[in-house]
Amino acid sequence: MSNLGNRAISRRIVLGGIGGAAGALLVPATGARSTISETRHLIELRREIHRHPEVSGQEVRTSALVAEQLRAAGLDVTTGVGGHGVVGVLTGGRPGRTVAYRADMDAVPPDEQIEGGSEAAHVCGHDLHTTIGVGVALTLARRRDGLAGTLVFVFQPGEESLAGAGAMLDDGVFDRVRPEEIHALHCGPFPVGTFATTAGFGLPGQDHGAVTLTGPDAAAAATALAAAITALGTVGRPATSGDLEHLVAELLRPGTALSRFVFMQAQPTGAGVRFSYRCWPQDRHAEVREAVRRLALSYGAAAVTFPADPFPAMVTPQREGRALHRYLRRTVGETRTLPTYAAIPYSGEDFALFLNRMPGTFTYLGVRRPGSDIKTSYPHFGAFDPDERAIGHGVRVMSSWLTHRTHP
């Protein structure tokens, strides 16, 4: 999940090698190995990935570890897709539909962490996402003979930089095996073992731009204009744990202030202003751009520039999102299935590019320990420390859901 972090605009390296503990992680034996042993294996896998965080474009060790696990389970594996992306194809023993599952692998660089440290770290939960994706692949590989259809496991690099999904698509990730739909999980600040669905919602896209000012007072005008542009925002960044609790409560209620918002950040840059914003719904970009342009011209701007198009919002289609919500209510229960009614204003997801190609779902997996501060389960905070029991919940539910979706 990309995050504007503590910066207004910038888009987003740790080198990792293969060896040491990585080579010792073998896929659990099929058949007699117990569920407890398999769970321990996945927890150790997560911890191995966590110990060696690799930021966008540098996922060398992580991708090699994933490929090793998938090959040992008998999947058809392709590496180097869109950089360090890994794709594993599992063909079932019976005819059925082709469905994809995506897990992101990269860690968060220091400048993207909130109250974080000076080193890259897995504070967005991608180590859990990768582990769950591997766990689902291993689980379903053991059931291959009874599995209908084909599953395509997409382990994506570069999510934090919003570059990985596009790179994999440009590299023809689905040219050989074309899925009909794609699904993903993301850690969220909900009680461990709960699932928050996003039918009709998701995460906003991102737009940015620059204003050029001229004249002897350009620097002073830029400072004033940056403040005026920032004031176009309707929501601010949460500053306290209480603010985060309020945010999560609003996500779970219809008709709150998050139903329609602009989150704006701007900063002066000498004789100019750089700005970046997210809005909801996504069709508001033209409206926000025009408001910025009018403001800039009122300050005597010589030029206002935007990219050709904003980065798109990620929106879970209503049909698939509602189908998953109903499925979860039947299988994990109503109390553990939470509908969301809004988008988080501060984060985006390049999973949007996959959902623009095909339908699918994006669901939050609760990772909050009982009694813990919400910052321990809110992605990008330095205190992020998810409950590892979430791995088992994610593997069981996604294995079941994907099996359900591959049936003809």
- The residue assigned the tokens 């209908």 is 148
Band (323; pLDDT cuts 50, 70, 90): very high
Eight-state DSSP code of residue 169: H
**pLDDT band at residue 15 using 50, 70 and 90 as cut-offs:** very low
Residue 37 binned pLDDT confidence (cut-offs 50, 70, 90) = confident
- Count of beta carbons in the 10 Å neighbourhood of residue 333: 11
| Contact between residue 362 and residue 351 where contact means Cβ atoms under 8 Å apart | yes
The DSSP 8-state label assigned to residue 349 in this structure reads -
pTM comes to 0.92
Single-letter code of the amino acid located at 68 = E
Residues 6 or more apart in contact with residue 330 via CB below 8 angstroms: none
> What's the pLDDT score for residue 17?
26
Q: Which of 16-20, 159-163, 233-237, 340-344 has the lowest mean pLDDT?
A: 16-20
- Output the CA angle 386-2-389, nearest 5 degrees: 15
Q: Check residues 282 and 23 and name the one with the higher pLDDT.
A: 282
- Specify the 3-state DSSP secondary structure of 399: helix
Per-residue confidence (pLDDT) for residue 25, from 0 to 100 = 52
pLDDT band at residue 2 under the 50/70/90 scheme: confident
User: In this structure, are strands 360-368 and 195-197 parallel, antiparallel, or unpaired?
Assistant: antiparallel
**What is d(CA 368, CA 372) in angstroms, rounded to the nearest whole number?**
7
Query: What is the pLDDT confidence band of residue 16, given thresholds at 50, 70 and 90?
Result: very low
Sheet with 195-197, edge to edge strand ranges = 76-81, 85-91, 148-156, 94-104, 181-191, 360-368, 195-197, 337-339
- Residue-wise burial string across 374-400, b where 16 or more C-beta atoms lie within 10 A, e elsewhere: bbbbbbbbebbbbbbebbbbbbbbbbb
Residue 84 pLDDT greater than 50, yes or no: yes
Torsion of CA 376, 379, 385, 388, to 10 degrees: 120
Q: What are the helix and strand counts (H, E) for the chain?
A: 10, 16
